[in-house]
Amino acid sequence: MGNQHSPQDLTLLRQVFTNIQPDSCPKHYNFHMHTNCSDGKLTPEDLMAQAVEIGLQGIAITDHHSVGGYYRAKQWLETQAIDSIQLWTGIEITAYLPPVDVHILGYGFDPLDPNLAPYLTGREPRGVDARAERVINALHHAGAIVVLAHPSRYRRSPEELIPTAVALGIDGVETYYAYNNPNPWIPSFEQTETVKRLGNSYNLLHTCGTDTHGLNLLQRL
């Protein structure tokens, strides 16, 4: 794997998102996971070892306002000479999408792109940098596929938020998400149906992820 993702990598990622199914996560793909480089408990290395053990085919570490975990995970893969899993760049950024704060996920971007500098500080962006339009544009400049995280977790409904995000250029929605942390992990049916319907109506990509913050990639907490 090179230092930057080729267009083929992004093409593959878009293809994966296009074919995501309700059972794609957590045993085949996982595009929402945190390490101790932000607010998770797993080290990037332990996360990768667990991902390989599970048999995941493609993943992204989405630490808050940091890509440090991605670099360490990438180095671990290279050191272990493992090519059974595809690792894409990922990040989760807090942004203001009027009238609420939301979380925006970016995937497959160039982490060295200068447009991302305000969002790689380990802290939530402030002022104009926190505007959703600004966040989405910065991620797009870096080549990212941009996704609205867990659309049914906010103080405004997905029916309100998704069209607003679409108007700002969002590419996808995190459709398959377990809102009540069930065990075993399974996407919340009612919310999934709503987000999927809205996503389809705007021709958006669908993603999935456990939003892992604990020690088990098959759970959120």
User: Domain extents for the chain?
Assistant: 7-17+24-208
Superfamily of structural domain 7-17+24-208? Metal-dependent hydrolases (3.20.20.140)
Q: Which helix (H) or strand (E) holds 147?
A: strand 145-148
Q: d(Cα 181, Cα 172) in Å, to the nearest integer?
A: 22
The pLDDT value recorded for residue 53 is 98
HEC per residue, 80-96: HCCCCCEEECEEEEEEE
Q: d(Cα 101, Cα 116) in Å, to the nearest integer?
A: 19
Q: Give the contacts of 133 (CB within 8 A, at least 6 positions apart).
A: 168, 169
The two structure tokens encoding residue 111 = 């982490």
pLDDT tens digit string along 6-25?
Answer: 445 899 999 999 999 999 99
Q: d(Cα 182, Cα 187) in Å, to the nearest integer?
A: 9
pLDDT tens digit string along 131-141?
Answer: 999 999 999 99
The two structure tokens encoding residue 34 = 């945190």
What value does the CA radius of gyration of the chain take, rounded to a whole number of Å?
Answer: 16
Residue type, 71: Y
Q: What is the mean pLDDT of residues 159-169?
A: 98
Percentage of the chain modeled with pLDDT above 90: 95
**Predicted confidence (pLDDT) at residue 1 exceeds the cutoff of 90:** no
Q: Which residue has the tokens 């899993």?
A: 85
pLDDT tens digit string along 44-80?
Answer: 999 999 999 999 999 999 999 999 999 999 999 999 9
Q: d(Cα 61, Cα 209) in Å, to the nearest integer?
A: 10
The pLDDT value recorded for residue 71 is 97
Please report which confidence band the pLDDT of residue 146 belongs to, taking 50, 70 and 90 as the band edges. Answer: very high
Q: d(Cα 57, Cα 42) in Å, to the nearest integer?
A: 19
The pLDDT value recorded for residue 7 is 43
pLDDT tens digit string along 108-126?
Answer: 999 999 999 999 999 999 9
C-alpha count within 13 angstroms, C-beta hemisphere, residue 121? 11
The pLDDT value recorded for residue 173 is 98
**Predicted confidence (pLDDT) at residue 5 exceeds the cutoff of 50:** no
